[in-house]
Amino acid sequence: MRGRPGLYTSYEAEAALLPTRTRKVALGLLILVLVLMPFSLPVIDQIPFVRFLGDAPWLRVVNRALIFCIAALGLNLLAGLAGQVSLGHAFFMGVGAYTAVLMGGVSTPHLWGWGLPMWLWLPASGVVAAGVGILVAPAAVRVRGLYLAITTIGLVFIGLHLSRVFEEIAGPGALGRKWPKLQLRLWKEEEPFLDFSGNGHWFWFDVNRTQKTYYFLLALLVLFALAAANLARSRTGRSWAAIRDRDVAAEIMGVAEFRAKTTAFAISSFYAGVAGALLASMVGQMNPEAWNLLLSVEFVAILLIGGMGRVSGAIMGTFFVVLSPRFVEQFIGWTADQAEGDGLFSGFWDLLVVVGSGDFGLISVTQQALGFPLPASALDEIIYGVLIIVFLLFEPLGLFGIWVKVRNYWKGWPFSY
Amino acid sequence: MALVVEERSSTDAPAPTVTVASLARDWGISDPNRIAMREKDFGIWQEYSWARTWGLVMDAAHGLLALGIDVGDRVSIQAENRPEWVILDLAAVAVRGITVGFYPTNPAAEVKYLLTDCGATVHLAEDQEQVDRVLEIDPAAVPNLGRIIYCEPRGVHSYSDDRLMDWDDFLAAGRQHRAENPDAVVDRMAEARPDDVMTLVYTSGTTGPPKGAMLTNANTEFSITRIMGEDGLRGKRVPTADDLVVTYLPLCHVAERIFSTWHMVSCGLCLNFAESIDTVTVNLREVQPTLFFAVPRIWEKLHATVMIKGSDSSPFKRLWLRSGLKLAGVIGREKVANGGLHTPKSRLLNLVGYPLVFRALQERLGLRRCWHAGSGAAPIAPEVLEFFTGIGVPVYELYGMTENSAVATGNFPGRMRLGTVGEPYPDIGFRLDEETGEIQTKHPGVFAGYWNRPEQTAETFTEDGWLMTGDVGEWVDGTHIRIIDRIKHIIITAGGKNISPSEIENSLKTSLYVKEAMVIGDRRKFLSALIGIELDTVGDWALRKNIPYTTYRDLSEKPEVLELIQGVVNEANEKFARVESIREFRMIPKELDHEDGELTATQKIKRSAMEEAFGGLIEEMYA
């Protein structure tokens, strides 16, 4: 009830997505900022953190993060909400990507492709992945926890194997093939009526292709996040939570375990399939080896760092994991500049980084091979390895848990409980 | 549910009698969609609009007619606060019956006494536990009792007593009766007379068996206009239909009836039923009522919660809270000295304290939107009052009793005085007896007498028709009244000195650690006391001091606790003259309980029962 946040007169009000006005305003502001971000607007481009997104390289990374968000939301439904830890997420993304390329790709003598428009191949990539998910689901009813995780690893290898068998779909081994572009056309016409993959002019603004892709992906993410948040508070979502907390007890309460696990796999795979298709067509060309175990593990890491079971946790985790290598890279670059300069601390930075040959340091800017000094690219993998350990030990609820703690600190004011 | 309210032309009777039922009906007609009641069920506050409420009252009233209730028949209710309580209460008044409320805690023996004393024909028992208490009674002992209605069918289904009836069946019977005789209740309501007894309120019975005080429709109307009207309890501001009240104290007590049901029907405000006495703090926080009434025990508990939770919080918060409380202390003293109003200094301090601490504190206590709070039924510790005034919850101490429909004195906004129960309501008959100092009142709110007890009724009135309240008071500055004690409690020591034990007891009870205190000394050489500790706070204190304990008795007999209480006693002794100081005290080895007969339903000590139960301890002190 208005002005009395604790007074719920209906279950609808209690389960509302945005129960308080503060949250509505906060979300509204966030979306406004997100929409304005890619532009160099007169005032806003003075705000340092917001402005950098105007740079294409940053925006590209953000686009990648947006796609990863969709995939992470999918895994979050499966692992965070329904408690079914899966390491086969990369496989489902791959299924989506190859469905997209089969339906939307160009047909050549060696490759299959039907050249269908995006409004067909994008949903189809999700649906096909969901279908495969349903096939896999019975395994989850039989095995639990770690065993399920190991079982789903098998999927990744099956996927890699299939990609080698069906070269007509996946393209030749190391090269892969070209994916259809993010363009909306009615049918197979030459000219798309909405093109996200080229520079253009929208309303009164010039927008480049990265900015266009950003908006397209942002809209999709909002859609998928809304769906995920709504699912979590639906009957289905509650049945998942019951299964997660104790599947036997849930079954005794009347939750159909088989059905719940099957829908969890199906919907999670749908998210993964769409994300896979988007990722491949944004990158343009990918080889089958990209859909490997590491990618699956990355999503588990995202959930662990962000916080299991919450939409905001999955999104925070994704941005953290996807953007942090870029930040580390920038940081190393900055330290290298410092080491070469005459600043007060240049001696310190000089000890840390290797700039040229014969220089001593722990991290190398130039070197790529693993060893000593460490290449900058390996550093961020170490950082997030350490982060996973740290989060598991000290903050199992992830970034979302930290947020909850901060919030509760103020909510409880001036008491501690 | 469709609302069928028959409007009667006012030509039927020259001046229709105002009853709580007629007031409720008016709201049902004038503002049917407004929320009248909320009850928390399955985690959600279920709402009852006025239309639905009045519809249910009509159904219940017809149900009572179907059960053959005649004018002046008694309908008794033993239940926690819930919508059915209010509905049946209003329905009984609508058919000119008499509502009799029992405390939900009344044990079987008392239920038997009350049922035989009032001779109820219909009884509402909330659940199996309450039903059992009635079924224990030999049916021959309560020949009038025709129906026992129950609200919670769990466990009662298998009972075969044919007096039992489910609440829903009762309403269904009412609906059927209503379909057959659509005007029966309306006609009965129109016949209501001002001197109809509408309720029996049983006294708590500290000295003898409880007596049923008869309140009439005229008493109610007077009480409603004096307390809720303009220049009433709240000065110029009058409660409106937008106000919210949380009801949690027993509805059979006149204070809670006034502050919930009578407020609801007269102002149209929304009544929110707390789930139980244990969840009051949570419910308060959810509902954030705008008007609040509590007994001192609740205020002290709220105060203690702040203190305990505050000392449990993290160091920074603790420091923050402590300075906030210091500030509240200063503001509280400043405001109290100014009649409860802000002075420029306190307003300035409040400007600092409110955003930093007070607002959050009020929110956590559930009193952020509360613009008037009352404390009554027992004396409250000045420290507690100061604390709440300091953090911005305006608490006013009130005084009244069942026999005068709670219209006697009150601290009015802007004119409050600490340690007094305020000023008499304007234009009521109010005086102190010249000799004894006893408070006496005479106004239309004074009750019609005790049920079936003419000689005791006569005893409570002076020869010139004034009600003797039995409370000794004194004037403070000629305007405010300070209550000294019950006239029967005044102790005359062996030295012949008159001493008021309540003052000393209350001074002991201002300590966070003391829950019960009983001062003894009638015809004795010196004063002594039996003291019961407050388990929560002393337990918390022991935890901090690393004193291990097992039970209540074990804890209260720890030497450290004895030392703690000795400190409290010494502190209290400093406030009184030498003859009034407590020389010896003993710990009460158990938590006092209504069920065991040491306390009344309102948690007042029954002195005779105490002397009987702990006579050994008392004699030990004088040995």
Q: How many domains, in total, are found in chain B? A: 3
Mean pLDDT of A293-315: 91
Q: Is A245 on the interface with B (CB under 8 A)?
A: no
Classify A231 as helix, strand or coil: helix
Q: Is A8 on the interface with B (CB under 8 A)?
A: yes
The whole-model pTM stands at: 0.85
- Give the chain B residue whose CA is nearest to the CA of A11: B44
Domain edge (last residue) among B137, B169, B193: B193
Q: Per residue in A332-362, pLDDT tens? A: 777 777 777 776 777 777 777 776 666 677 7
Is A367 a residue whose pLDDT tops 80? no
In a shared domain, residues B186 and B298: no
In a shared domain, residues B413 and B314: yes
Provide the pairing of β-strand B498-499 with B491-492: antiparallel
**Residue of B35, B40, B41, B45 for testing the chain A interface, max A β-carbons within 10 Å:** B45
Mean pLDDT of B12-38: 89
Q: Per residue in B233-280, pLDDT tens? A: 998 899 999 999 999 999 999 999 999 999 999 999 999 999 988 899
- Give the chain A residue whose CA is nearest to the CA of B46: A9
Tokens (6 digits) for B160: 């075969």
List chain B residues with CB under 8 Å of A415: 309-310, 312-313, 317, 321, 364
Which residues in B have their CB inside 8 Å of a CB on A? 38, 43-47, 285-288, 309-310, 312-314, 317, 320-321, 324, 357, 360-361, 364, 369
pLDDT of amino acid A5:
84
Is A31 a residue whose pLDDT tops 80? yes
**Residue of B38, B44, B284, B357 for testing the chain A interface, max A β-carbons within 10 Å:** B44
- Terminal-residue alpha carbon distance, chain B: 70
List chain A residues with CB under 8 Å of B361: 414
Q: Is residue B217 part of a domain?
A: no
- A415:B320 CB<8 A: no
If one compares B460 and A368, the residue with the highest pLDDT of the two is: B460
Nearest Cα to Cα of residue A414 among B349, B322, B285, B346:
B322
In a shared domain, residues B375 and B512: no
Instruction: Please name the residues between 307 and 326 in chain A that touch chain B, using a CB distance below 8 Å.
Output: none
- A14:B286 CB<8 A: no
In a shared domain, residues B366 and B300: yes
Mean pLDDT of A7-22: 86
Q: Could you please report the per-residue DSSP string of A93-113?
A: HHHHHHHHHHHHSPP-SSS--
In a shared domain, residues B474 and B499: no
pLDDT of amino acid B511:
87
Mean pLDDT of B11-17: 64
Is B282 a residue whose pLDDT tops 50? yes
In a shared domain, residues B506 and B536: yes
| Contact by Cβ (8 Å): B91, B190 | no
Of A4, A7, A414, nearest to B317 by CB-CB distance is A414
If one compares B32 and A365, the residue with the highest pLDDT of the two is: B32
In a shared domain, residues B476 and B499: no
Amino acid in the structure at residue B524: R
pLDDT of amino acid A143:
87
pLDDT of amino acid B8:
47
Q: Per residue in A379-388, pLDDT tens? A: 777 887 888 8
Q: Is A10 on the interface with B (CB under 8 A)?
A: yes
Token pair 């004393």 is found at: B117
Q: Is residue B78 part of a domain?
A: yes
Domain ranges, ordered by start, for chain A: 56-291, 310-417
Burial of A28 from C-beta contacts in 10 A (0-12 / 13-18 / 19+): exposed
Of A7, A412, A413, nearest to B286 by CB-CB distance is A7
Of A6, A9, A416, nearest to B314 by CB-CB distance is A416
List chain B residues with CB under 8 Å of A6: 285-288
Q: Per residue in B172-189, pLDDT tens? A: 999 999 999 999 999 999
Of B44, B310, B317, nearest to A8 by CB-CB distance is B44
Q: Is A46 on the interface with B (CB under 8 A)?
A: no
pLDDT of amino acid B2:
45
If one compares B585 and A54, the residue with the highest pLDDT of the two is: B585
Q: Per residue in B292-329, pLDDT tens? A: 999 998 998 899 889 888 888 889 999 999 999 999 99
- Give the chain B residue whose CA is nearest to the CA of A413: B360
Q: Is residue B198 part of a domain?
A: no
Q: Is A415 on the interface with B (CB under 8 A)?
A: yes
| Contact by Cβ (8 Å): B105, B116 | no
Q: Is A357 on the interface with B (CB under 8 A)?
A: no
Q: Is A413 on the interface with B (CB under 8 A)?
A: yes
Is B362 a residue whose pLDDT tops 80? yes
pLDDT tier at B10 (50, 70, 90 boundaries)? very low
pLDDT of amino acid A42:
62
Domain edge (last residue) among B158, B193, B228: B193
pLDDT of amino acid B587:
94
Of A9, A10, A414, nearest to B324 by CB-CB distance is A414
Distance between B391 CA and the closest CA of chain A, angstroms: 13
In a shared domain, residues B37 and B120: yes
Please tell me the distance from the alpha carbon of residue A62 to that of residue B317, in angstroms, as a whole number.
39
The mean pLDDT value of chain B amounts to 91
Q: What are phi and psi of B582, to 5 degrees?
A: -80, 120
Task: Give the residues across from B450 on adjacent strands.
Answer: B213
Q: Is A411 on the interface with B (CB under 8 A)?
A: no
- B285:A6 CB<8 A: yes
Of A3, A6, A414, nearest to B320 by CB-CB distance is A414
Q: Is residue B26 part of a domain?
A: yes
Q: Is residue B611 part of a domain?
A: yes
Is B12 a residue whose pLDDT tops 70? no
Q: Could you please report the per-residue DSSP string of B67-91?
A: TT--TT-EEEEE-SS-HHHHHHHHH
Q: Is A410 on the interface with B (CB under 8 A)?
A: no
| Contact by Cβ (8 Å): A298, A115 | no
List chain A residues with CB under 8 Å of B357: 414
Please tell me the distance from the alpha carbon of residue B619 to that of residue B623, in angstroms, as a whole number.
6
Is B6 a residue whose pLDDT tops 50? no
List chain A residues with CB under 8 Å of B309: 415-417
List chain A residues with CB under 8 Å of B283: none
Distance between A3 CA and the closest CA of chain B, angstroms: 9
Q: How many helices (H) and strands (E) does chain A have?
A: 17, 9
Q: Is residue B230 part of a domain?
A: no
Q: What are phi and psi of A195, to 5 degrees?
A: -115, 120
Q: Per residue in B495-537, pLDDT tens? A: 778 888 988 998 898 888 999 999 998 888 899 999 999 998 9
- Give the chain A residue whose CA is nearest to the CA of B358: A414
Amino acid in the structure at residue A110: H
In a shared domain, residues B345 and B418: yes
In a shared domain, residues B422 and B494: no
Of A4, A11, A416, nearest to B44 by CB-CB distance is A11
Please tell me the distance from the alpha carbon of residue B174 to that of residue B180, in angstroms, as a whole number.
10
pLDDT of amino acid A53:
54
Distance between B90 CA and the closest CA of chain A, angstroms: 25
- A8:B314 CB<8 A: no
| Contact by Cβ (8 Å): A157, A148 | no
- A415:B288 CB<8 A: no
**Residue of B279, B313, B316 for testing the chain A interface, max A β-carbons within 10 Å:** B313
List chain A residues with CB under 8 Å of B287: 4, 6-7
Domain edge (last residue) among B456, B484, B512: B484
- B309:A415 CB<8 A: yes
- A413:B317 CB<8 A: yes
When mean pLDDT is compared across A205-214, B58-67, B148-157, the lowest value belongs to A205-214
Please tell me the distance from the alpha carbon of residue B431 to that of residue A283, in angstroms, as a whole number.
93
CA B596 to chain centre: 21
Tell whether omega for the bond before A414 is within 30 degrees of 0, i.e. cis: yes
- B312:A415 CB<8 A: yes
Q: Per residue in B205-241, pLDDT tens? A: 777 789 999 999 999 999 999 999 888 899 889 999 9
Q: Is A416 on the interface with B (CB under 8 A)?
A: yes
**Residue of A409, A415, A416 for testing the chain B interface, max B β-carbons within 10 Å:** A415
Q: How many C-beta atoms lie closer than 10 Å to residue B623's C-beta? A: 5
In a shared domain, residues B496 and B431: no
Domain hosting residue B297, numbered range: 278-443+465-484
Q: What is the CATH number of the domain that holds B572?
A: 3.30.300.30
Q: What is the CATH number of the domain that holds B117?
A: 3.40.50.12780
CA dihedral B99, B102, B108, B114 (to 10 degrees): -50
Distance between B85 CA and the closest CA of chain A, angstroms: 21
In a shared domain, residues B295 and B406: yes
- A415:B324 CB<8 A: no
